[in-house]
Amino acid sequence: MLDQIQSVEDIRSLSQADLKDLAADVRADMIESVSHTGGHLGAGLGVVELTVALHHVFETPRDRLIWDVGHQCYPHKILTGRRDRMLTLRQPDGLSGFTKRAESEFDPFGAGHSSTSISAGLGMKVASDLSGEDERNVIAVIGDGAMSAGMAYEAMNNAGALDSRLIVILNDNDMSIAPPTGAMSAYLARLISGKTFLSLRDIGKQLTEGLPRFFKEKAAKAEEFARSFVTGGTLFEELGFYYVGPIDGHNLDHLLPVLKNVRDSAQGPVLIHVVTQKGKGYEPAENAADKYHGVGKFDVITGTQQKAPSNAPSYTKVFGQSLSKEAAKDDKIVAITAAMPSGTGVDIFEKDFPDRTFDVGIAEQHAVTFAAGMACEGYKPFCAIYSTFLQRAYDQVVHDVAIQNLPVRFPIDRAGYVGADGATHAGSFDVGFLASLPNMVVMAASDEAELVHMVATAAAHDDGPIAFRYPRGEGVGVDMPEAGVPLEIGKGRMIKEGSKIAILSFGTRLSEALLAAEKLDGYGLSTSVADARFAKPLDKEMILKLAGEHDVLLTIEEGATGGFGSQVLHILANEGALDGSLKIRSLTMNDEYTDHGKPDVMYAGSSLDADGIVKTVFEALGRDVNEAAEAGEIA
């Protein structure tokens, strides 16, 4: 059936029986594709029938279909002209793992972070109405996890106040809001979304218009209560949405009539509550604890994922284990995560200290201020949030933590390039936006052993907020300490002494800096290497010494321009270290939003590898490294 689909118009012409066959084909096609590329599997499997139904009922792309986060959009991509490119998913120059405006007209809004769909959808609907295109439908599909974020409710409150005809589909795939649904529930959903019920409701409203305000309000409340009694949608009704559901999201016999009723009604904002199952239709995913949320390449028959042999522990694991060790010595240490316990390593801590672990849901703003409140009472909160998600709580970091100088600890995972998740998940900006804040301490681990010490440093630091960043993936394989030892705040360390070139590294590019130093030594350019450890406060003494005793100074970091290098340049300028003959260069991530690919290739593209460092040194000296090699200028 899927082979016959050349466009979405073909989907709209299918019978209900054919749609069921199409859904089965899409599910099989998606499993096959992701087995070769890796990616988000469970969420997409859970919305196959819903995706088919939406494209059958609505006139996409004229009708706007917005997927919150976008990680569940693989079936959507298969059905909207991208099936032949699914094997390029999350690969260099291939399809994005999320929705992306530049990729297709069927992706009206780009995503990657959660809880944005209702706000964006409301903006599109209001803009369409202002342009006289009020017949356009706008549909936002949002998961129950994403509904834990305040932004979703801000948008719903605004939509209710505007009485805008926005359609929100709540994809409840954890059954955290409603139990499994059956035939009676589906019948009631069809009934209350149908024209007959809505017409009777409007007649009732007209009849009560002439009544005194007290009776009119009581009549409205009675009608609302009657529907809420059978549906449970009271909260959404209070926000101004007409609630329909819950209905079985895998049963097209239930889905199609409700979607058609809502499409054909002139009702204001509507919320359709759909219950689905992550990993639906693929037994290994259904049986897995995480429903195969994110997977590597895998065997379709067995579900076994391919994993490269591990040479060193992951930074995430090292953090989780180190935090548990510190917490065993200090009962004031608590861990906070925003719906990412396994991604941040907090799940490791949770096994040892479940009563001191707090998963607040997808609510980064709340997580930071919640941590601030705990710090007020003498606790030592470690608020573990990815770099890219900490952006969402910046005002709280400034207003609720830094201004009050509260000792909240910020472990920042996913620093630097993250590979297949692309620009929306890259840890690019945290050094820049944190190091600009008074009272903030900002550290970066150069290897997994240093991370152990930085966890200990954060645990011991009670004088104000402190952050430490580390990348995704494995460490470099260094010997691990038995226990963490607090570092002296604002002090870096010399790794290698030289006389002509100085490389000042912040973060895990240190290993590449050492490789570059070896190559530069071979060219007769004696090279020093230092590990800054701190972007704020900087080791002023060490930096001025490097600047005063070398011809060239390079800073290198896994972050965007405006971060560590900018802090170093600021000190050098104010101290007059740039007034003489010193040549200085700052190596950062490229000043662009970098799409998905392999991190090693991304770092090389930003000259953040050994060859890029060597090339930059030669350019600073006005020479060409290739010409030097050809001339045999190797000592």
CA 372/CA 414 separation, integer angstroms: 23
CB 119 within 8 A of CB 155: yes
Residue in 64, 90, 392, 509 annotated catalytic: 392
Q: Is 450 labeled as ligand-binding?
A: no
CA 450/CA 162 separation, integer angstroms: 53
User: Side-chain half-sphere of 431: how many Cα atoms within 13 Å?
Assistant: 34
CB 245 within 8 A of CB 233: yes
CA angle, residues 456, 461, 465, in degrees to nearest 5: 115
CA 350/CA 524 separation, integer angstroms: 52
How many C-beta atoms lie closer than 10 Å to residue 155's C-beta? 26
Tell me whether strands 270-275 and 534-536 are parallel, antiparallel or unpaired. Answer: unpaired
CB 161 within 8 A of CB 240: yes
Phi, psi angles (nearest 5°) of residue 45 = -60, -30
Active site residue 260: no
Q: Is the dihedral of CA 32, 34, 40, 44 positive or negative?
A: negative
- Tokens 């005809």 belong to 165
Tell me whether strands 138-143 and 167-172 are parallel, antiparallel or unpaired. Answer: parallel
DSSP 8-state code for residue 402: I
Active site residue 392: yes
Q: Is 619 labeled as ligand-binding?
A: no
Q: Is 173 labeled as ligand-binding?
A: yes
How many C-beta atoms lie closer than 10 Å to residue 361's C-beta? 17
Q: Is 242 labeled as ligand-binding?
A: no
H, E, C per residue of 76-95: HHHHHHHHHHHHHCCCCCCC
Residue in 49, 326, 350, 364 annotated catalytic: 364
What does the block give as tokens for 210?
């002439």
DSSP 8-state code for residue 2: G
**Cis amide leading into 246 (omega within 30):** yes
Residue 517's SS3 state is: helix
CA 11 to chain centre: 32
Q: Is 114 labeled as ligand-binding?
A: yes
Active site residue 195: no
Residue in 278, 409, 472, 509 annotated catalytic: 278
CB 546 within 8 A of CB 502: yes
CB 82 within 8 A of CB 33: no
Q: Is 399 labeled as ligand-binding?
A: no
Q: Is 282 labeled as ligand-binding?
A: yes
Q: Is 233 labeled as ligand-binding?
A: no
Active site residues: 278, 364, 392
Indicate the annotated binding residues for thiamine diphosphate. 71, 112-114, 145-146, 173, 282, 364
Indicate the annotated binding residues for Mg(2+). 144, 173
Indicate the annotated binding residues. 71, 112-114, 144-146, 173, 282, 364
